[in-house]
Structure 1
Amino acid sequence: MQSLQGKCGLIIGVANAQSIAWGCARQLKAAGARSAITYLNAKAESHVRPLAEQIEAELILPCDVEQPGQLEAVFAALEQHWGQLDYLIHSIAYAPLADLHGRLVDCSTAGFLRAMDVSCHSLIRMAKLAEPLMPKGGTLLTMSYLGAERVVEHYGLMGPVKAALESTVRYLAAELAERGIRVHAISPGPMPTRAASGIAHFDTLMQAAMAKSPQHQLATPDDVGQLASFLISDAARVLTGSTHYVDAGYHIMG
């Protein structure tokens, strides 16, 4: 594991102990990084705060990207506390269930726009706020899924949204490279997180992925966290703009 000693950053998307973002937080802590953690709302705080305290998170803040001013308040707190930022992990996504469970062709305008705002445009907003806090460079990471490039049954609306997210990563990487800021998407295979539970027949999807992947297993949030640690480290200084798969090889299979 690469050392992240001295690096500090923000992790958005911890919901519970099964979250991909929690796997990242735990592995970054093990590598020596200092983190700030956010929670969605008061209901989520009771699940997130004990986890954040386990990794000695220096800030534990509310952040609902749909609430005006909350995201800006988080970055203002970061600037006051650290004065700078080395990394940001964006691990949030949302689509209204009525739109997610239906056909893409039937999705509502409001549902599509909301899914794009929370799952994709929020990364752009965070990049804009993070840029002035990364005068010496930094790393932005977001979470995608194979449904961005292939049709995955029952993934529906989120497929085009994640495709937009991966394209956003490439454009941000090109725009921010001159500031020394690197941008990546991590594409985990299916794993039993709270967010994934909203996808219809998700258990079947996990079983199929395990059967078809060359390694015949599922990745874990800790596996994602170990890759995140590497991408944030100085060892990955010449890597940017890519989508990295953590799926036991499932993405290479026809």
Structure 2
Amino acid sequence: MSDSEPVFDFLGLSGKTVLVMGVANKKSVAFRIAKILEQSGAEVIYSVRSEARNESLGKLLNGRRTIVCDVERQTEINALAKTLADDKVRLSGLVHSIAYADYPEGIRPFHETTRSQFLQAMDISAYSLTSICNALKDIFEPDASVVTIGISTTRMASESYGFMAPIKAALESSLAFLTKSFSRFSEVRFNSVAAGLLKTSASAGIPGYVDSYLYAEKVIPRGRAVETDEVASTAVFLLSPRSSGVTAQSIVVDAGMSINYFDAAIVGAVTAAEVD
């Protein structure tokens, strides 16, 4: 192809405006999604949790528009929506990459989860999606796409993930109900990328996560873990008009881990260790 030939915008994202919520650092899934969006010609507006976070991201997001919004505070969600509306912003997409769980004493048995821990995690990690979308409903384009980040399975009782799997299950269930309620006045779509274990700064802080990550590398058929950009690329596809027929779905990106738990080599290693 010659330099004079136009580049075909396969994803149809050029000129679209997408709000990305949840960037913490350069390893964040949200940041990788935003970078691919920008490379695809989209305009990205960033929403970060606090002024302190905004300052820490100053160099990384230099020249980009950022808005502070702590999703635990409805007033800040409302202010975010008002700021965008006042600026006549029309959103073609929203990335909800927000999750938080408090483990002050490390990972404990699920039945010892406190009410305050569970409700805070539910508020930030699951309910915030509904609250944000309700606040932004009037500035979404009629065919906008909303993408959140889930986990590859909410049915596995992984001790290293504490009580977050039930929270993510609630987030995943919300997709169907948001799709249905928004269908009364729009074609806005709601999907999730259900990611396998990733090497991010946030995950590294979860007690026991690193060992689970190393185990995942053994179970995954290709012998290496899921990369953050693989999750990000799937999210960008879901944000694009190319995925217009996909809604209320969780797309699993685990590099085949879920089909390989009984790999002969792994089973052999475990049973040999038990004999020893």
TM-score under structure 1 length normalisation: 0.92
Q: Is the 8 A contact 1:190 1:209 kept in 2?
A: yes
The aligned counterpart of 1:12 is 21
Contact 1:95–1:115 at 8 Å: present in 2 too? yes
Match of 1:190 in 2: 197
Q: Can you give the 5+ residue segments of structure 1 that lack an aligned partner in the other structure?
A: none
1:177 paired residue number: 183
1:101 aligns with 2:107: yes
- The residue aligned with 2:97 is 91
Aligned match for 2:213, one of 199, 206, 209: 206
Deviations 1:99-119 (A, max 9, x none): 761111001111110010000
Q: CA deviation at 1:147?
A: 4.4
Q: Distance in 2 between matches of 1:216 and 1:130?
A: 42
After superposing the two structures, state which structure 1 stretch, 173-182 or 30-39, moved more: 173-182
Aligned to 1:60, the other structure's residue is in SS state strand
Q: CA deviation at 1:176?
A: 2.0
Q: Which has the larger radius of gyration?
A: 2
On the 8 A contact 1:147/1:158 being kept in 2, the answer is: no
Instruction: Identify the residue that residue 235 of structure 2 maps to in structure 1.
Output: 228
Is contact 1:102–1:156 with CA below 8 Å preserved after alignment? yes
Q: Which residue of structure 2 aligns with residue 61 of structure 1?
A: 67
Match in the other structure for 2:162:
156
CA deviations on 1:213-251 (whole Å, 9 max, x unpaired) are 122222222222211221111111111011112221113
Contact preservation (8 Å) 1:96, 1:111: yes
SS at match of 1:164: helix
- Larger displacement relative to structure 2 (220-229 or 14-23): 220-229
Structure 1 counterpart SS, 2:19 = strand
**Residues 154 and 165 in structure 2, CA contact (< 8 A), matched pair in contact too:** yes
Q: 1:26–1:225: 8 Å Cα contact kept in structure 2?
A: no
Q: Equivalents in 2 of 1:41, 1:233: separation in Å?
A: 29
> How far apart, CA to CA, are the structure 1 residues paired with 2:137 and 2:259?
34
Q: Write 1 or 2 for the structure with the bigger share of helix.
A: 1
Matches within 5 A, 1:6-45: 6-45=15-54
| Unaligned 5+ runs, structure 2 | 1-9, 262-276
Distance in 2 (alpha carbons) for counterparts of 1:61 and 1:112: 27
Q: What RMSD, in angstroms, separates the aligned Cα atoms of the two structures? A: 1.7
CA distance in 2, matches of 1:125, 1:13: 15
Which residue of 1 is the match for residue 244 of structure 2? 237
| Same amino acid, percent of matched pairs | 28
Kindly indicate whether structure 1 or structure 2 has the higher relative contact order, using CA contacts under 8 Å at least 6 residues apart. 1
**Secondary structure, aligned partner of 1:148:** coil
Q: TM-score, normalised by structure 2?
A: 0.85
The alpha carbon displacement at 1:66 in A equals 1.5
The count of corresponding residues between Structure 1 and Structure 2 is 251
